[in-house]
Amino acid sequence: MTKVALLFPRFRYPSGDYPLGIATLAAYVQARLPVEIVVCDTTFDPRLELIEAFLDREKPDYVGIGMSTLMLGEGLEAARMAKARGLRVFVGGPHPTTDPAALMALDTVDAVVLGEGEESTVALLKQWLAGGSGPVEGCWTKEGATIHERTRRAGIKDLDELPFPAWELLDMEAYLAAWGQLDSFRPGLRGVNLMASRGCPYECSFCQPVLDAMFGKKLRARSPGHVVAEIVELHRRFSIEGFWFTDDTFTTNRKWVTEFCRLLKETRLELFWGCTTRANLIAPELMRTMADVGLRKVGIGMESATEHIREGIYKKGVTAEAIDHTVRVAKEHGVATLLFLMLGAPGETRAEMLATIEMATRLPADEASFSLFVPIPGTELWRKMVDEGYEMSSDYTDYDYYARQPFEGEISRFELRMIQRFAYLRFYGHPLRWRSVLRSASNAQGARSLGRKLLRIVPHGLAPRDPGADRRTAEAARIVRARVVTS
């Protein structure tokens, strides 16, 4: 039987969040084509030798590689390995979707799957299985020296058509053991991530139009019953105790959420869960409904305390008052909050960053993620910065919102990193967080999860560095330089 290998080359920041997109794609392709799918996931063993050994052992016929900007260096190295073995290679994910021309210019890439990949991947593999070549809807493909360019395929209308992810192809026990989304509530819970919807109707400049390119502007949701059925199956197979929705704005459709809560309650599983949403999309009564069926944590995109940055630069569309109100309402209902914040926007002053740190610290939030602002290639803000003359780094490892920025602003990278560390010390050093931190540290699994998070902010000199990183990103750097020059 024809064998298709799917590679997930995550080499940085291991977590308990399993590659949901890869697992869903694997299940979808297996259900529609006479092929065997095998998966190579480097999350818990980030070595290029692992990929080489996998390719030599499995001997696939075709290789698909999913990659974000930060994974590009390793992804392209994996493509080189596959091509050296005479294999056809297709790539997909956010970065290939926004810059297919650069990827298709490489001899190591035969096709780019744009956006939502399930239907387009099946169409591409059908053509290859039949020995053909030529245009494929939703893909860029090669036919000799000719490159066929096609636009992104419309997203799947009925997401209930998606099968449950192919969990059997992953080391789910490793992910369950490393999962830490609800550590601030109860460390050590066995949990997984879920997807209930695709798409986002909002216009944040740091996401769009890349998010639209991936999933389209219209929000599409699985039915509440289909999502609950997956939760029941996860509990049956893996004895999960919790779950986290990866949706960007889980509470956009209030009627959907209310029905989901009703069905979840009927299962009597008494699981704990969390989600991410916008501060202006979760009314107190909805918070109460969700908390009654196990909601214990909600992530909120605060981004910045100042309107000049939050609205003028990021176009968030959420007021500081709404953020404050939602955090306090969550606290009243026993729901922990995680604030997502960014430091170092173009033109952002030290005073504005300190205002963000102080607002986050005084709110009764349980967790905060202080990311460095990184302009994702293809987004509105990235384009604006390039047009304004910002020189972007030619090293894709610099597109790392945990550790460094790909450009030099008025505030040096070193000072910005110091401000980020101060933010974490200020936030978690406040008495409001002492109990939560002690709770996490008192549990072995929680302590390991805390350690993984700390590695994201320790000085570079103390963090383990992969000696092959520079070599792996050489090809990626060439692509960046070409892109910046032609922009």
Domain range summary for the chain, segments of one domain joined by + = 2-149, 179-469
Give the pLDDT of residue 461: 39
Task: For 352-381, write each residue's pLDDT tens digit.
Answer: 999 999 999 999 999 999 999 999 888 999
What's the chain's average pLDDT? 91
Cβ contacts of 337 within 8 Å, gap of 6 or more: 297, 298, 299, 300, 326, 327, 330, 331, 363, 364, 365, 366, 367
What is the pLDDT confidence band of residue 437, given thresholds at 50, 70 and 90? confident
Cα–Cα distances in angstroms (integers) from residue 375 to residues 24, 285, 313, 399, 405, in the given order: 28, 36, 12, 8, 8
Query: pLDDT value at position 478?
Result: 54
User: Residue 434 burial (CB < 10 Å; 0-12/13-18/19+)?
Assistant: exposed
Of 1 and 450, the structure prediction assigns the larger pLDDT to 1
Token pair 């059908």 is at which residue? 126
Give residue 184's pLDDT: 86
Question: Per-residue pLDDT averaged across 328-339, rounded?
Answer: 97
Residue 166: both structure tokens together: 């192919």
One CATH from 3.40.50.1370, 3.40.50.300, 3.40.50.280, 3.30.70.990 for 2-149 = 3.40.50.280
Under a CB-based contact definition with an 8 Å cutoff, are residues 379 and 210 in contact?
Answer: yes
pLDDT at 396 exceeding the cut of 90 = no
The structure tokens 């039987």 sit at 1
3-class state of residue 136 by DSSP: coil
Domain at 179-469: CATH architecture: Alpha-Beta Horseshoe (3.80)
Q: pLDDT tier at 47 (50, 70, 90 boundaries)?
A: very high
Q: What is the mean pLDDT of residues 30-36?
A: 97
CB 5 within 8 A of CB 60: yes
For residue 472, what are the contacts with CB-CB under 8 A and spacing of at least 6? 48, 73, 74, 76, 77
Q: Rounded to whole angstroms, how far apart are CA atoms 119 and 21?
A: 13
Helix (H) or strand (E) holding 362: helix 350-362
% the chain with pLDDT above 70: 91
Rounded-to-integer distance, Cα 27 and Cα 258, Å: 29
- Considering only the C-alpha atoms of the chain, give the largest distance between any 2 of them, rounded to a whole number of Å: 65
Question: In the predicted model, what is the mean pLDDT of residues 441-456?
Answer: 65
pLDDT of residue 481: 44
